[in-house]
Amino acid sequence: MQSFYTDQQQLLAKTTREFALSELGPKASNIDEHEIFPREQFMSLATLGFTGLTLDSKYGGSDGNYVDMMVVIEEIASVCGSSSTVLITHVSLASQTINRFGNNEQKSRWLPDLCSGKKIAAFSLSEPQNGSDALGLATRIEKKDPNTYLLNGNKIFTTNGEVADVFIVFCTSDKSAGYKGITALIVDRTTPGLSVIPQHGKMGMRGSSTAEIIFENCEVPIENRLSDEDNGYFVALKILDSSRIMIAAQCVGIAQGALNASISYAKQRKTFDTVISNHQSIAFMLADMATELDAARLLTYRAASRHDKGLNYSKEAAMAKLYASEASGKIVNKAVQIHGGTGYFRPSPVERMYRDQRVTEIYEGTSEIQRLVISRSLLK
């Protein structure tokens, strides 16, 4: 157990681990194999209060901080990557946007059902022509009348997209204004003109649903606008900064799961009349995995604590995400190596972890974009 966590956080970690091992672990392989959205698991996470973990208790949340959320995400991800992606998107990306940037009416209307897990949220920023350069988006709004926007365009790669009831959508009122024309809206799934096209065939995180979202003359009430008109770029950047900490925590969890599996396999698999943990090359791989994992966890903890203390954390969050995602890539690779041929086949958990880990170097800003954020902060 990590000594820098409070007693309460250590208890939270223990409870979440027991829950993850008994409730998520046995189903992780099946939801991955058949691309099944883990709705039942999501509802169990809701019962534990995790679907509203960092959200305001006034609206049904649990008032947890980012270190609490880091603890929970790590434990879930160590057992089921897909469930952690679903939860991060629901809480840290989408619901958190309303929690942080919504007015009282918006929070009262949307947050209680999101905190309780009755409704699921998604965050639609990426488009077919704009991923890393997300603020160059083309989905557009125009005023139909003083109370209504008309929304047109399409988004891709929206996690939770197939099942979401609520979408945070970023759009532009004036593409020529660049990022200064961007507005963030809350869009109800039942809005006429909104359609969802599932995107199947992911390499990993196959239980987290991904979808293309199409808006055709969707009428969105102006009261659904988050923050000021044309302030959407600020909303997006701030939420991505904080949610990155949770992707780092997810990487720490996946890496911990891979290390745990590797240690237990190395202690029982025999070659040349001895367990493979007695071969120094295997023991040293475990040593490197544990060292890089600790470094990733410490960077993640630093970013989460700075967030919770109200300090600047943008550079630290990018460093944590960059390092933890790349370190977890090396760790899952070694885990497959330690498992030999067994690690290359389903349903070996390290085979799934190897595939699940890969996207952490891509979503919520690729490694190259994290390097851009870090270097800009150094050179400003």
Ligand X SMILES: Cc1cc2nc3c(=O)[nH]c(=O)nc-3n(C[C@H](O)[C@H](O)[C@H](O)COP(=O)(O)OP(=O)(O)OC[C@H]3O[C@@H](n4cnc5c(N)ncnc54)[C@H](O)[C@@H]3O)c2cc1C
Q: Quote the CA–CA distance of 293 and 5 in Å, as a whole number.
A: 16
Choose between 157 and 323: whose C-beta lies nearer to ligand X: 157
Work out the angle at residue 93's Cα, subtended by the Cα atoms of residues 88 and 99, and round it to the nearest 5 degrees: 115
**Between β-strands 121-124 and 166-172, what pairing exists: parallel, antiparallel or unpaired?**
parallel
* Residue in 136, 127, 202 with CA at minimum distance from that of residue 175: 136
Choose between 132 and 195: whose C-beta lies nearer to ligand X: 132
Longest dimension (CA), the chain: 79
Residue 40 annotated as catalytic: no
Choose between 182 and 276: whose C-beta lies nearer to ligand X: 182
Which residues are at the interface with ligand X (CB under 6 A)? 89, 123-126, 131-132, 157-159, 202, 205, 210, 359, 362-366, 368-369, 372
3 state DSSP class of 324: helix
Q: How far is the CB of 290 from ligand X (least distance, A)?
A: 28
Choose between 204 and 334: whose C-beta lies nearer to ligand X: 204
Q: How far is the CB of 65 from ligand X (least distance, A)?
A: 23
Q: How far is the CB of 358 from ligand X (least distance, A)?
A: 9
* Residue 344: DSSP 8-state: G
Q: Quote the CA–CA distance of 225 and 151 in Å, as a whole number.
A: 12
Choose between 43 and 203: whose C-beta lies nearer to ligand X: 203
Choose between 329 and 365: whose C-beta lies nearer to ligand X: 365
* Residue 155: DSSP 8-state: E
Q: Quote the CA–CA distance of 339 and 276 in Å, as a whole number.
A: 10
Region of 60 please: left (phi>0), alpha (psi -120 to 50) or beta: left
Choose between 63 and 368: whose C-beta lies nearer to ligand X: 368
**CB-side neighbour CA atoms (13 Å) of 236:** 29
* Residue in 238, 239, 234, 222 with CA at minimum distance from that of residue 187: 222
Q: How far is the CB of 129 from ligand X (least distance, A)?
A: 8
Active-site hit among 216, 219, 364, 368: 364
Q: How far is the CB of 24 from ligand X (least distance, A)?
A: 19
Q: How far is the CB of 125 from ligand X (least distance, A)?
A: 3
Q: Write the burial class of residue 119 (CB in 10 Å: 0-12 exposed, 13-18 middle, 19+ buried).
A: buried
| CA 201 to each of CA 4, 33, 122, 157, 204: distance values in angstroms, whole numbers, following the listed order | 40, 11, 19, 12, 9
CB-based contacts of 270, cutoff 8 Å, min separation 6: 276
Active-site residue list: 364
